[in-house]
Amino acid sequence: MDFTLINSFIAVAEEGSFSTAAKHLFLSQQSLSKQIAKLESELGTELLLRSRPLRLTQNGKLFLQTAKEMLKLKQEFEETCGTAGRGEESIHVGIEHTLARAILPRVLPGYIDAHSGVYVRISEESPEELEKAVSHEGVDLVIGSIASPPSSYRTVELCRKEQLLVVPKKLMRSLSGARYDELCESFSRGVDLRFFEKAPFIKQPRNSSGGRSLMHYMKYYDVSPNFVCELTNVENAFQLALSGVGVLVYAKLFWDMLDGALQADYRERVELFPLPYLPDTDKVCAYVRADADAESRGADLLERIAAFLQDYENGKRWREA
């Protein structure tokens, strides 16, 4: 029995949708449909009624419980025998969009050189999609921040993800008047978001990393910003802040990755103020299959990412990739 097919069936059954399950498994809908058809052929019975909404047949309901038990027994066997993570020639990594830009160019080349026979598949997704992926075991390793990882994955904290408030200088001058220098000096030690509540804000979707951080700061300060536009791409949002459109919450990690000359150019147009660190939300973590052993390829990639981020936290300036 192919356990990939079993995982796929459980995902479709729980989501009640081929398209939604395919998205969380990082598969095309056509590929997922073929997997379920193959499973039904092997079992000699129909598991799903392709209706709207999608429904399980009676045999499908029975097999769903059996499938979950099979996966549980497989995990227990691998933990007992230490066979997990061996013999695989590929690794599937899920990572938040914005973290991918900061981490992968500086970590992945060395990893691929050391594992020339391994195919690395990267899925760049929002935290919400990554959480669904681990729930359905669609990835070997996840880098980001997940609210409720399942017990089949263990969590490794990697570094803090501090946030900056990006404020166009022209807007800052209009808000502060004669107190511009005084307020900039004060906010350089920690900004009070309430001062900017009536200012135009650039919004990011709630299911994105940046959008989630903004929502937590809104709750922390008890403010309701004046949103003037919304973008899914944080770098495009940053460019709009540079052009003076509005205020933006932006991860310090992404600012620090910029070339020094570029930072100097940007500072001619915007002020950058540190926001308070919220430990419950602003962490970069790794989530790795609990049954993976220390010699697995995923463990080596995690070790390389952790070392890179530790260097970053210790203030080591990374060289451009």
12-15 — which CB contacts under 8 Å span 24+ positions?
12/36, 12/48, 12/54, 13/47, 13/48, 13/56, 13/60, 13/64, 14/136
According to DSSP, residue 247 is labeled B
What six digits make up the tokens of 46? 């129909």
pLDDT tens figures, 222-259:
999 899 999 988 889 999 999 999 999 998 888 988 88
Sequence-distant (6+) residues with CB within 8 A of 254 are 98, 101, 102, 234, 235, 238
* Domains of the chain, first to last: 3-81 (1.10.10.10), 90-160+283-313 (3.40.190.10), 163-274 (3.40.190.10)
Q: Which residues face 258 on adjacent strands?
A: none
Looking at residue 315, what is its pLDDT? 75
According to DSSP, residue 19 is labeled H
pLDDT mean values, one per 10 residues, the chain (321 residues): 81 85 77 88 90 87 87 63 52 86 89 87 81 76 82 85 94 96 96 94 84 87 93 90 95 85 94 86 80 73 92 67 40
Provide the 10 A C-beta neighbour count for residue 230. 13
Looking from the CA of 243 toward its CB, the CA atoms found within 13 Å total 8
Looking at residue 162, what is its pLDDT? 87
Indicate yes or no: pTM above 0.75.
no
Sequence-distant (6+) residues with CB within 8 A of 77 are 83
Looking at residue 86, what is its pLDDT? 44
Q: Which one, of 120, 119, 117, 147, lies nearest residue 134 by Cα?
A: 147
Within its chain, how far is the Cα of 30 from the centroid? 25
pLDDT tens figures, 96-132:
887 888 889 889 999 999 988 888 888 887 777 788 7
Sequence-distant (6+) residues with CB within 8 A of 299 are 85, 288, 292, 293
User: Do residues 309 and 315 make contact, with C-beta atoms less than 8 angstroms apart?
Assistant: no
Give the angle subtended at the CA of 206 by the CAs of 138 and 225, to the nearest 5°. 165
